[in-house]
Structure 1
């Protein structure tokens, strides 16, 4: 077995979303998994299940940054996702999450099942359990455009604000304003502190 961070999630109030919107949410989650997988050169397998549920596996070092990027991507579509995280031993054959097993998968599912109504992200213990409630509080304030900006700028090798502005058809000044309003500096500091322990 190897150490993995396992995310188990679902889409908040998915029954209120039309099929096209829900499909767009899952497309951006899948794109987020590809983005995260590129950070360490490892894959971040992603799977959708039970209509509005999903699961992903990634290196433990990327857990906080990854959770924030996925929250940002979903919020950019005007929706929300809940995320339960488990970190520990896991057995994964290729990218097939359906056949995966291990304590990290059990813990992740339990974290989602026991998530308090006041939170959208949870890990049972360790530094991640301390950081997630604060990160969740910040993420809840993001507008869709701020979330779009954050999803790109939280990348370990982010684009310049000028380049991101060109991609999103916004001025560099607008990107800077959105990033600051979304708490980018505090989020970078928290991610760096969390990642330093790995």
Structure 2
């Protein structure tokens, strides 16, 4: 248990965690897998307490995800938008049906670019259209008109992945052949953003997915 506490609550290389991800500075399986069932319950209780009362960082979320600890779901939902990508991953691993969509909708109204990118990335990686609702999809598509290109890019990626549509670089032959991407790439062409939304809705419909 002391080894667990050092791993999840002790000092870490914050630069490495930021640059390479928290899962690069902690091995949740190695830290938690060797605990007995009773010790894992105690560890989960301590992780939830940290999530609710601090101090906590994304290591706590990774631990709860590894343990698949269902009682942690309310605390994980409430932790948004902090560590959003990790939180969305954790909830999807425990029970994606328990994602608080009202909380996600509020986070998608955030002004902070980094927060929006984190949430869009998590939704695109870990959730399908069937696990979300029409309001979340609408909010994602609305972000194609965001003034920051990186938000528009991640909104397009998220919308496509959620609907099972191939995305951008590495999944298509050329970005130049992608009319939706071409419509959002320039910050100086806001009138094209609406066109991008229209094209994306057509793409979703053609894929047989509800918009």
Q: Per the shorter chain, which TM-score range?
A: under 0.3
Which structure has greater helix proportion?
2
Give the structure, 1 or 2, with the largest relative contact order (CA under 8 Å, sep 6 or more).
1
TM-score by length of 2: 0.23
TM-score by length of 1: 0.24
